[in-house]
Amino acid sequence: MAANNLNEKEYRSDHEVGLLDNVNSLREERILCDVTFNAEGGEVSAHRSILAAFSEYYRAMFTSKCKEGCTDDGVKVVGITALILNLIISFIYTAKITINSETVYQLYEAANMLQIKYVKDYCVGFLKDTLEVGNCLIVRAFAQMYNIPELVTHCD
């Protein structure tokens, strides 16, 4: 006879489906945000815990007392516009991102810097899907510069 004969059953809700959407709404309304990024062209607010849970880059930034670029006014971001940073941070909250020919290169560069593999992969997919004679050389040069062999091969 078992000493601990407990009846036990685990229940699981599906509330996580709407949880990030709700947290993103808080972010968009700047409610409970605890970090502001000052990027070229504007500010982007967010919740440190959400960013740190998603990205090793942000986890390291926020757990190392944010020495680089941090001021009382927020985190200074160099090399990423507010538009691009907002697209990436929105992606972290929603798992959705819209990529177009105007943003793809900047998105890839920012995702590379911020170590966000999903966005990098989506950008590579977009470049493959939209490859044509008129942009092939530019895409290939970009792929070589960022060491993306699969994209170089696709261009060949």
Domain with CATH 3.30.710.10 in the chain: 16-96, 99-156
Indicate whether 5 pLDDT > 70: no
State which CATH number among 2.40.30.30, 3.40.50.10470, 3.40.50.12780, 3.30.710.10 fits the domain covering 99-156: 3.30.710.10
CA distance 46 to 49: 9
Residue 17 pLDDT level (bands cut at 50, 70, 90) = confident
Q: Kindly indicate whether the domain formed by 16-96 is annotated with CATH number 3.40.50.2000.
A: no
**pTM for the structure as a whole:** 0.85
